[in-house]
C-alpha cells in the first residue's frame, strides 16, 4: 500500500494517527536542524517535518537532498502544527516522518509547478503532463468530469440511450474540410473523420432508438482560435416523434440542471430571439444579453445633412456606452484606433458626448446641430453622461464591426461577469446562405435541416428568404449548442440537395444510404449538439477552452508535446499507395 490517506484529507482529528502518504515534493525549507517539505498529490498538500532531534542523520540527509517534484513515500505520525496555516485545509497538522522512501528522482522542471507559474503557454503545452499538476489545470479537468457526469446522469434519467457511432466514415463536401485517413486495404480510397455524427444519429432515429445521445469526438480541419480545436467534443443528441418545442424544452432542462448542479445558479428564463432581430440589435447571431448597448439604426436621423460618409453608407448604426462621456479625448482616439485595426476593419468612428446638462458635443458638429444629436441619443437610448459611438458602411460589415466594439467596451466596463449566466435561444435562421466564391447557395447549418413549415415552396422563387427550422442555444455571448428539425422524407431531401447544387448522381453517391433509409419509414425527428469544451469553459467562468482539455493543440493545430503532426516514412507511404507532392 503506497498510501493510507491522500495529501488533502488529514485534519486535527487525525492527530496521533500513523499514516502513509505518497506524492510529489512541492517545495522544501531547510533550516539545518529542521526540514519542512510540502508533499502534494491530486487532493492537496500536507506538510512533512524532519527534526534532527527525532530523525536519524541518514534520513535528515535524504530530506535535505530532496528536489522539487521528487516522487516520495513517507510514513509517520500526525502531529499538531506549532504555526498553523489557516489558508490550507491541512494547515492544523503536519507529519513527523519516521520513514522516507524516494520512489523517483526528478529533474528541475522547466517552469514552477505553482498556481501562478513562470511558464509561458507554449512551454507549458510542451510539458503538459507537468502543467496538469498545477491546480488551475487539474481543477479544470476535474470540473469537466463533473459536468460530463451530470450530462450523462440527466440524459439517462430522461430516457436517452448512449450509442457510439463510427469514427472512420465517408468524406462529404459540406461544412469544413475533413481530416482524411488512407485505407491500406482499399487502395486509393480514404475514410474521413466525422465532423459530427449527423447522418448516423438520423439513421438511429430510423432504427427506432427514439432518444439518443453520445459524448463524442468530432474533427474539423479549419483555422483555429481560442475556443476552437481541430478535435473537439460534442454532446450529440437526437429525438424522434417531436416538434421544435419538444427539443427546446428538453435541452433547456439539461442546461438548467447543469447551471444548478454545477454552479449553484437557478435560471428560469430562456428568452427567444429571431435571427434577424439578433443581427439588427447586436450584429451577430450569438449576442451576450448580460448587458445592454443594443444597436440603434440611424439612417433616418443621420442621412439628411451634407455628411457624405453617412449619406453614402448602406447602414449608419450606433451604440450608447454607459458613462462613456467620462472618456478623455485620448481614450476615445484609442477606441477609434481599435476599430480601425485589420481584425475589425472599420475606416473610422464618429462619436457624440452626451453632457450632464443635456447638451451634446460630437466629432461632426460641423454637420449636425443639437436637435439632430438629440435624435441620435433617442434612437440609441443614450442618457446624459453616456457616449454614442457610430459606425457606417455596408450593412453586414458594419454590424460585425460594431458588434466587436460592443464586446470590447463591455469587457473594459466589467459588464461580462462570468458568474452571471444569461441563456438565449436564437430562432429562424436562414436555411441557405449565398457564397460569392462558388456563386451558389450553401446550407447555413447542414443539408439535412428542414425549412420552416409552409416555406418549402419558397425554395423555387426566393431561396434566400426561406427560414430554417433551426435553433441555437447561446450562453453569455457564446454558442453552446445548435440543432434543427431534420428533413425526414426522400422527396424534400432530394429537393434540398438540388438547391444546394448537387446533381442527382452526386447526391446518391454521397448520401444514397440516407435517402434509401428514408424509404423505410423515417419518423419526424430533430436534435441538438452542445459543444462540450465551450460549455464547460463557460460554466467554469472562462472564455477559452484549452485548460479544460487534457492535451490541447496550439493555434497551428500542432501538439507540441508529442510533436504531431509528423512525417511518416517511405515504407508507410508505399504501403498506403501515397506519393507526396509538397509545395516548395
Residue positions forming the annotated binding site: 174, 220-222, 229, 445, 479, 486, 531-534
Cβ-count burial 178-198 (b if 16+ within 10 Å, e if not): bbeebeeeeeeeebbbbbbbb
Task: Tell me how far apart the 2 most distant CA atoms of the chain are, in Å.
Answer: 93
* Residue 546 dihedral angles phi and psi, to the nearest 5°: -60, -40
Q: For residues 152 and 166, what is the distance between their CA atoms, to the nearest angstrom?
A: 20
CB 463, CB 502: distance < 8 Å: no
Cβ-count burial 147-166 (b if 16+ within 10 Å, e if not): bbebbeebbeeeebeebebe
Q: How many CB atoms lie within 10 A of CB 394?
A: 12
**Closest to 313 measured CA to CA, from 287, 349, 281:** 349
Q: For residues 93 and 348, what is the distance between their CA atoms, to the nearest angstrom?
A: 63
- Round to the nearest angstrom and report the end-to-end CA distance of the chain: 58
Q: For residues 364 and 366, what is the distance between their CA atoms, to the nearest angstrom?
A: 5
CB 2, CB 21: distance < 8 Å: no
Q: How far is CA 331 from the centre of its chain?
A: 31
**Binding site membership for ATP: which residues?**
220-222, 229, 479, 531-534
Enter the C-alpha cell of residue 231: 478535435
3 state SS of 482: strand
Q: Which residue in this structure is represented by grid cell 448516423?
A: 200
Q: For residues 242 and 484, what is the distance between their CA atoms, to the nearest angstrom?
A: 11
Contacts (Cβ under 8 Å, ≥6 apart) of 127: 109, 110, 111, 119, 561
Helices 198-206 and 504-518, packing angle to 10 deg = 40
**Closest to 97 measured CA to CA, from 41, 39, 43:** 39
**Closest to 239 measured CA to CA, from 285, 271, 208:** 208
Q: For residues 53 and 34, what is the distance between their CA atoms, to the nearest angstrom?
A: 9
Name 559's bridge partners.
Answer: 564
**Closest to 467 measured CA to CA, from 429, 513, 505:** 429
DSSP state of 549: S
Establish how many alpha carbons lie within 13 A of residue 13's alpha carbon, considering only the half-sphere containing its beta carbon: 2
**Closest to 529 measured CA to CA, from 216, 178, 296:** 216
CB 364, CB 307: distance < 8 Å: yes
**Closest to 535 measured CA to CA, from 442, 455, 473:** 473
**Binding site membership for L-aspartate: which residues?**
174, 220, 445, 486
Amino acid at each position: 500500500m503506497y498510501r493510507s490517506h491522500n495529501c488533502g484529507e488529514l485534519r486535527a482529528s487525525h492527530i496521533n494517527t500513523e499514516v502513509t502518504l505518497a506524492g510529489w515534493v512541492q517545495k522544501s525549507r531547510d533550516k539545518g536542524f529542521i526540514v519542512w517539505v510540502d508533499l502534494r498529490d491530486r487532493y492537496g498538500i500536507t506538510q512533512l517535518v524532519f527534526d534532527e532531534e527525532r530523525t536519524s542523520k541518514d534520513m535528515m540527509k535524504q530530506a535535505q537532498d530532496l528536489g522539487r517534484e521528487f516522487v516520495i513515500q513517507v510514513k509517520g505520525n500526525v502531529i499538531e502544527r506549532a504555526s498553523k496555516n489557516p489558508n490550507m485545509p491541512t494547515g492544523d497538522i503536519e507529519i513527523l516522518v519516521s520513514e522516507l522512501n524516494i520512489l523517483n528522482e526528478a529533474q528541475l522542471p522547466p517552469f514552477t509547478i505553482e498556481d501562478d507559474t513562470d511558464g509561458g503557454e507554449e512551454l507549458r503545452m510542451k510539458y503538459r503532463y507537468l502543467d496538469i499538476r498545477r491546480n488551475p489545470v487539474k481543477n479544470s479537468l476535474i470540473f469537466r468530469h463533473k459536468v460530463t457526469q451530470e450530462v450523462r446522469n440527466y440524459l439517462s434519467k430522461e430516457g436517452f440511450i448512449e450509442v457510439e457511432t463510427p469514427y472512420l466514415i465517408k468524406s462529404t463536401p459540406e461544412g469544413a474540410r475533413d481530416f482524411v485517413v488512407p485505407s491500406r486495404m482499399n487502395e486509393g480510397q480514404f475514410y474521413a473523420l466525422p465532423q459530427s455524427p449527423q447522418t448516423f444519429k438520423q439513421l438511429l432515429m430510423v432504427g427506432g432508438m427514439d432518444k439518443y445521445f453520445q459524448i463524442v469526438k468530432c474533427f474539423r480541419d479549419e483555422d483555429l482560435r481560442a475556443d476552437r480545436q481541430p478535435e473537439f467534443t460534442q454532446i450529440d443528441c437526437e429525438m424522434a416523434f417531436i416538434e421544435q418545442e419538444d427539443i427546446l424544452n428538453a435541452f433547456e432542462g439539461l442546461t438548467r440542471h447543469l447551471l444548478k448542479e454545477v454552479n449553484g445558479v437557478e435560471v428560469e428564463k430562456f428568452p427567444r430571439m429571431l435571427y434577424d432581430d439578433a443581427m439588427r440589435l447586436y450584429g451577430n447571431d450569438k449576442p451576450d444579453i448580460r448587458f445592454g448597448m443594443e444597436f440603434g439604426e440611424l439612417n433616418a436621423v443621420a442621412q439628411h445633412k451634407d455628411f457624405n460618409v453617412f449619406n453614402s453608407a448602406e447602414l449608419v448604426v450606433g451604440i450608447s456606452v454607459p458613462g462613456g462621456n467620462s472618456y478623455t479625448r485620448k481614450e476615445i482616439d484609442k477606441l477609434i484606433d481599435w476599430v480601425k485595426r485589420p481584425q475589425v476593419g472599420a475606416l473610422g468612428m464618429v462619436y457624440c458626448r452626451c453632457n450632464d446638462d443635456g447638451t451634446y458635443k460630437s466629432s461632426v458638429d460641423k454637420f449636425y446641430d443639437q436637435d439632430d444629436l438629440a435624435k441620435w441619443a433617442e434612437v440609441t437610448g443614450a442618457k446624459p453622461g453616456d457616449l454614442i459611438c457610430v459606425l457606417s458602411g455596408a450593412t453586414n460589415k458594419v454590424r460585425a464591426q460594431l458588434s466587436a466594439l460592443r464586446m470590447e467596451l463591455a469587457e473594459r466596463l466589467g459588464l461580462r461577469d462570468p458568474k452571471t449566466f444569461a441563456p438565449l435561444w436564437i430562432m429562424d435562421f436562414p436555411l441557405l446562405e449565398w457564397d460569392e466564391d462558388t456563386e451558389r447557395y450553401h446550407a447555413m447549418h447542414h443539408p439535412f435541416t428542414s425549412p420552416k413549415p409552409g416555406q418549402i415552396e419558397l425554395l423555387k422563387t426566393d431561396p434566400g428568404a426561406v427560414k430554417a427550422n433551426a435553433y441555437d442555444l447561446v450562453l453569455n455571448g457564446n454558442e453552446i449548442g445548435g440543432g434543427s428539425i431534420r428533413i425526414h422524407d426522400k422527396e424534400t431531401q432530394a429537393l434540398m440537395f438540388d438547391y444546394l447544387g448537387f446533381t442527382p448522381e452526386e447526391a446518391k453517391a454521397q448520401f444514397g444510404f440516407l435517402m434509401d433509409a428514408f424509404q423505410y419509414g423515417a419518423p419526424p425527428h430533430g436534435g441538438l449538439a452542445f459543444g462540450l469544451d465551450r460549455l464547460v469553459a463557460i460554466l467554469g467562468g472562462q472564455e477559452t477552452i484549452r485548460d479544460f482539455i487534457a492535451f490541447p493543440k496550439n493555434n497551428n493545430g500542432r501538439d507540441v508535446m508529442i510533436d504531431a503532426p509528423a512525417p511518416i516514412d517511405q515504407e508507410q507511404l508505399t504501403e498506403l499507395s501515397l506519393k507526396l507532392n509538397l509545395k516548395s
